[in-house]
Structure 1
Amino acid sequence: MALVVVDQGEGVATITLNMPDLRNPISDNGMIDALLAALEAADRDVGVRAVILTGAGTAFSSGGDLSKMGPGKGLRGNQPAETVRNYRDGIQRLPLAFQSLEVPVIAAVNGPAIGAGCDLACMCDIRICTSGAKFAESFVKVGLVPGDGGAWLLPRVVGWSRATEMALTGRAIDAATALDWGLVSRVVEPGELMPAAQEIAAEIAANPPRAVRLTKRLLREAQDASLGTVLNLSAAYQAAVHETRDHEEAVTAFLERRRPEFTGN
């Protein structure tokens, strides 16, 4: 059984974590490798204009596999130095990869997103969820810290105070709270989740792809850069897209009052 299933639509790739019996843990190297391969393939394919990430079954992702947390199992090595290497060579590859992606990624959170699963959702650019979804930065509940970058990711999504509350209590929040806190931008009923994600993806895919990817890249770079740096980068990206045929097509179509046809050039 494939650990990750990829469905290719018109300009949109849907990536599904496919270990429903274990609630889609993402801590094993096999799942990490499969997810990274799917994301990198989508990023390389200029025909893919948006990605939807979701989970098979009733959960988005349970995060770590608790059955593999003994010495010498999973990410935990026989010595602390080995554990450090396992994290760097394992799950910590995910936030670095998401940060470098140009293609926009929409998390369609179909159920619980727990621990590293919550952080995985935070790695995405847009998050929507079902009314039954729950989110928990629950590492402290099992005597651990966020080892996958959650301490960097979560405060940037929900703010320092709320991220600290989630991380230090380990308490799960429901979909309504996630919406109120800005962890997700939309809550829908379970049967409406994928249509809603596909609607957002289609809206993104309808725009000039080079402008979309550079806009996403600019937003990511702006997270930690100074205003002056962002302005300089904005000018450079703007110079690049001014020269595209899609920009010319957008302006021409607007003036001619017709729908534009973008080619990615």
Structure 2
Amino acid sequence: MAVVVPFWQLNFDIDKYVNRLIPDPPWHAVPYPIAYILGYRKSLPETPLGNLLLAARALLGVFISILLIQVISHQIPWVAADGPRIIGSFGAAAVLEFYAFESPFAQPRNFIASQVIATVVGVSLCKLFQLHSNEEWIRWLGGSLACAATTSLMGLTKTIHPPAGATALLAVVDDRAVQIGWKLIPLALLSCSIMLIVALVLNNIFSRFPLYWWTAANLRSIPQEQLSGLSVDDEEKGKSQRFEIIIGDKIIVPEHIQLSAEERLLLEKLSSRL
């Protein structure tokens, strides 16, 4: 008998359809110093930083990235003439990328994809509403809808990144953003690239960033069609091997399990007592 799920409990998991198309990161083919800067570690991540050093590094990272975005974008003729030198929402993005960089919201997939969604939705709705009228109330309506639509799309695509909501709003209500129209999309991508490069360099000093590029799930997990050919005992064994954390003289954590700084510290304390 089929089970009917109420509509308010329905879920859409985009990773169910997309992850099978995403290749596993080729870390074995990348020189370790480069892989290290890209967030790959051969062993358990380092001891968490104290907040003094973390704050100092964030100060440097936010300052450098925001300054570079403004300087480089100002060299683009259409930005210097009509557009904003920097999209205001990147001030909030910098806080995530350099201080809360272990948050899922700060990982590259969320950071980049959300800004693409925000600019495409924002500019599209801005152009659409301008066909009706240029009155102020139309812009308010378009800005509200752009922010709302972007939030929903980020939720469905697992790319939540709060500053992107502001990007969508600015695409409709900010005069300079409206002036450059579709060019806001490459400007956002350029800003993302600059900030991400600076974050990769600085955040990997004494820390690890990003924790993952696409998803925290293990892309190398046993495919369902392979599990269907295993016995129940073999299937359970395969699952347990993928999710097992070993604590002893050395802590072994599967790559797909992402731990917070507090969780890693707790594991280290447990290891020292065993």
The TM tier, using the shorter chain, reads: under 0.3
Q: TM-score, normalised by structure 1?
A: 0.24
- RCO greater where, 1 or 2, for CA within 8 Å and sep 6 or more? 2
Q: TM-score, normalised by structure 2?
A: 0.24
| Greater per-residue strand proportion | 1
Larger radius of gyration: 2
